[in-house]
Each structure stands twice: as C-alpha cells, then as structure tokens.
Amino acid sequence: MFNSFRYFHQQDEITCENVAVAVGTCNFNYYSHAVGIGARYKTPVGPLRVDFSYNLNPPRYPVITEQTSPGVYVNNILPYVGQAAHFNFFFSIGQSF
C-alpha cells in the first residue's frame, strides 16, 4: 500500500529520458526530499506565508510536444527531458491544509 516509503530517489530514471516511447514510462512512486526555511506573519485575513526550499532529488520527466502530423511538431519544438527545479519559492495567504 505504501511502497513509496521505501524509495528515496526516482527509480528507473533512465526510462524517463527516452522521449521516443509512449508517455507513462516514468516512475514517480518515491519521496522527493527538500530542505528550506519559511516565515509566517499574522494578518487580519489569515497568516501570510513565505517559504524557500531546495529539492534534494527533483524528478525527471519527458516533455512530449504536440504534433501537427507525424514527425512535424508545433513550433518545431522536439520532445525533450525536463527536470523539476532544485530551488522553490512559495507564497500564500491563509491556513495550509
């Protein structure tokens, strides 16, 4: 049930880099760890929250672009491998859920 508890990095990351095959070959069943700092300020509409973090193991994923016909991509953008950012910034007003 909780198989992701066992994994601390993306499994089979190399399959995510193969953009020539169908979408859905990446395995995202793992914990992505981050360290960071945050600040809270009490306002009349709720707490103002600002957080900054560094992701230790961001996921990789294929970015498949739209084709107008076989081999012809919109704006000539070929499929490529993406990766989530290491640095993250979050801003919100109100309670977290």
Segment 41-52, tens digit of pLDDT: 999 888 999 999
The predicted structure's pLDDT at residue 91: 93
All structural domains of the chain with their residue ranges: 3-93
- For the question of whether the overall pTM of this predicted structure is more than 0.85, the answer is no
pLDDT band at 87 (very low <50, low <70, confident <90, very high): very high
- Cβ count near 87 (within 10 Å): 11
Cα of 91 vs its chain's centroid, Å: 17
Q: In angstroms, rounded to a whole number, what is the distance separating the alpha carbons of residues 23 and 80?
A: 12
Percentage of residues in the chain having pLDDT higher than 70 = 79
Q: Which residue has the higher pLDDT, 93 or 29?
A: 93
